[in-house]
Amino acid sequence: MKKYAYYWSLLLFVLACNAPPPADTTAQPEPSVAADTLVPYDAEEIKAETWRAWQAYREYAWGYDVLLPLSKQGYNWYEESLGISPFDAYSTLAVMGFDEAAAEVERYALSKDWDQDVFVQVFEVNIRILGGLLAMYDRTQNPAILAKVIDFGDRLLPAFDSPTGIPYHSVNLRSGETAGNRGEGKGQVVNVAQAATYLLEFGILSYYAQDPKYYRAAKKASRAIFDRKSDIGLPGDFIDEETGQWTTDWHYLQAGVDSYYKNHIKSN
């Protein structure tokens, strides 16, 4: 029995000596890929991928707001197409030198009629359509494009006619009627990004249109949020456009708030 006990003790000793050391919880994890093995995309590769994506939209979803990549079908955000993808992509196509594609979007813009009986989300169409049209006019200096920009901006302005100056979630492009985030009357809340992300586009529109009304509306909305910041200088999350009351008392930097900061930095 003593002999077997000795062998068992020896085996346990050998296993203990070969066991891995305990994990060091204070050590930094090793990167999964060495930094010097990472190969960044060069400019031509990025241009090629952009062109591939644009051609896919052009083939399968031209005239629709977006392309559904798996089904290869077009999809509209609202009852009628607003051409969101072409206007959103315009500045990238132009900067990358895809002049023919950019010219096609310019012709498409001139064919659009904004007199549509549709409720649109003010925040989204501001950054995508109004911003895209402004970039288009900046590049072309085409007065007909500027007329389209002014027309669209005028159709968004009624959304800012709230007691606080904070825009309502949605506005009807034809009637100017405003609505909450489900098209069910006024008084529903918007997040900080939806409330005050307009200084850049509306400021540039005022500059080109030689009319301060757009910038004034955006500034009033931004002041309404800034003046309601907390004791430590932060806005909340969701706010009622009519009462100016925060409906939540937390803050973060992700979607719903991030555009508020980005837009103000760009506007300086």
**What whole-number percentage of the chain has pLDDT above 70?**
77
Highest mean pLDDT of the ranges 8-17, 36-45, 98-107 = 98-107
Ordered domains of the chain (ranges, CATH): 41-91 (no CATH), 113-268 (1.50.10.10)
Q: What is the pLDDT of residue 181?
A: 57
184 vs 101, residue with greater confidence: 101
The CA distance from 53 to 64, in Å, is 15
Res. 253: pLDDT tops 80? no
Stretch 83-107: mean pLDDT: 96
Q: What is the pLDDT of residue 180?
A: 75
Our measurement of the distance from residue 69's CA atom to the centroid of its chain's CA atoms, rounded to an integer in Å, reads: 19
Res. 4: pLDDT tops 90? no
pLDDT per position as a tens digit, 45-69 = 999 999 999 999 999 999 999 999 9
**Using CB atoms within 10 A of its CB, is residue 54 exposed (0-12), middle (13-18) or buried (19+)?**
buried
235 vs 139, residue with greater confidence: 139
Angle at 113 between CA 137 and CA 130, to 5 degrees: 40
Q: What is the pLDDT of residue 5?
A: 46
Q: What is the pLDDT of residue 236?
A: 81
Q: What is the pLDDT of residue 79?
A: 87
Q: Which residues pair with 73 in a beta bridge?
A: 68
Stretch 146-164: mean pLDDT: 97
pLDDT per position as a tens digit, 136-151 = 999 999 999 999 999 9
The CA distance from 132 to 201, in Å, is 9
Per the prediction, the chain carries an average pLDDT of 84
155 vs 183, residue with greater confidence: 155
Of 34-38, 238-242, 260-264, which range is least confident? 34-38
Q: Whose CA is closest to 126, among 84, 74, 98, 184?
A: 84
Res. 258: pLDDT tops 80? no
Of 30-34, 91-95, 190-194, 228-232, which range is least confident? 30-34
Q: Whose CA is closest to 83, among 174, 148, 172?
A: 148
Res. 37: pLDDT tops 80? no
pTM to 2 decimals? 0.79
Task: Look at the block and give the residue holding tokens 């904004």.
Answer: 114
Q: Whose CA is closest to 92, among 131, 52, 50?
A: 50
Res. 1: pLDDT tops 50? no
Res. 131: pLDDT tops 80? yes
